Amino acid sequence: MRIGLLTGGGDCPGLNAVIRAVVRKGEGVYGHELVGFRHGWRGLVENDTVEVTFDTVRGLLPRGGTILGTSRTNPYKQDGGVAAVLATLEREHIHALIAIGGEDTLGVAWKLGDEGVKVVGVPKTIDNDISATDYTFGFDTAVQIASDAIDRLHTTAESHDRVLIVEVMGRHAGWIALHSGLSGGAHVILIPEQPFDVDAVADQLRHRHQHGHSFSIVVVAEGAVPVEGTMTLQAGEVDEFGHVRLGGVGNRLAPELESRTGFETRVVVLGHLLRGGTPTAFDRILATRFGLEAIDAANESDFGKMVALRGTDIIRVPFEAAVGELKTVPPERIAEAEVFFG
């Protein structure tokens, strides 16, 4: 079989480990031919391919980013986009596709199934917000990087009696903020699932500083929103999947907290640092196991499925279970963290 491979959406540590595993087993064990499409769905719209062979994937396991490149191209938002994808598949004699991506990339993969395209999905996102899988690779790396940063910010915040706001990625779900805030010992964690009241946050900080503490760490997810009517946020550009470019809530929050509390407040935006560089061992293993399962599924012609982690097992789930609804932080997980606030 000739099997196409693509990586779409934001990049993520572990993408190369998936590609490596797919090629090692696909070519090495099953004897399939693998074809890489450059820059996600754009490569299928523009027929932009790259050779991926046993030799191409040497040394890829610890490498961040994706050798295939990525983009947020949505063929359904382009004139003739879907027809171009189908034409490319035919021209390149592609029997099946392995699409590695988040809710947007996998959403396109699911829809293409209705056009007769045979696709297996692999979930990736540092945000960990894809349903039907316990974890996505990239998340553990992002949490580790954010935790290390929070540890470092503790010592400087303490030395200067400051409030430090740490802004992390997390568009719709606060998993990175929650986990890095818990592991880093943050005093306030703000996530998209629970709109925050800036006066209540200021009260929490004041209360903490009245009880023997002279510094605080506030972790805020980029997608966190204030309670309606209390604070305005800046609107950014919108991509082909309708997502606004985020980043900036920390800088909006700082003066609001400083003016209410009188505590000097600084901001660190971790942003793309969380997506760069080498994956943790956990993410390398998860990505590798996802890659192996994805090529097994393609080899068995078990299409329309996404590979997923359930407990310690790698399973296959139908696309609709995975991309129908995002996996957000449930209230009981927020409640756990609240024990350590203030």
Rule CB under 6 A: which residues touch ligand F6P? 9-10, 102, 125-127, 169-171, 222, 245-246, 275
CA–CA dist 133, 141 (Å, integer): 17
First to last CA, the chain: 58
Q: Using the minimum distance from each CB to ligand F6P, give the nearer residue, 36 or 102.
A: 102
Whether residue 256 contacts residue 198, with contact meaning beta carbons closer than 8 Å, is answered with yes
Write down the catalytic residue from 11, 104, 127, 129: 127
Name the phi and psi angles at 244, rounded to 5: -80, 140
Nearest to 193 by CA among 326, 331, 337, 332: 331
Burial letters 252-281, b for 16+ CB under 10 A, else e = bbbebbbebbebebbbbbbeeebbeebbbe
Q: Using the minimum distance from each CB to ligand F6P, give the nearer residue, 246 or 298.
A: 246
Q: How far is the CB of 295 from ligand F6P (least distance, A)?
A: 25
Give the single-character DSSP code of 127.
T
From residue 185, alpha-carbon distances to 116, 147, 240, 339, 342 in Å are 49, 9, 37, 11, 11
The total of other beta-carbon atoms located within 10 Å of residue 29's CB is 12
Beta pairing, strands 216-221 & 163-168: parallel
286 — alpha (psi -120 to 50), left (phi > 0) or beta?
A: alpha
Q: How far is the CB of 171 from ligand F6P (least distance, A)?
A: 4
Q: Using the minimum distance from each CB to ligand F6P, give the nearer residue, 101 or 304.
A: 101
Q: How far is the CB of 155 from ligand F6P (least distance, A)?
A: 27
Q: Using the minimum distance from each CB to ligand F6P, give the nearer residue, 10 or 304.
A: 10
Q: Using the minimum distance from each CB to ligand F6P, give the nearer residue, 17 or 205.
A: 17
Q: Using the minimum distance from each CB to ligand F6P, give the nearer residue, 127 or 283.
A: 127
- Mark whether 134 is an active-site residue: no
Q: How far is the CB of 243 from ligand F6P (least distance, A)?
A: 7
CA–CA dist 65, 210 (Å, integer): 45
Nearest to 72 by CA among 10, 14, 134: 10
User: Catalytic residue positions?
Assistant: 127
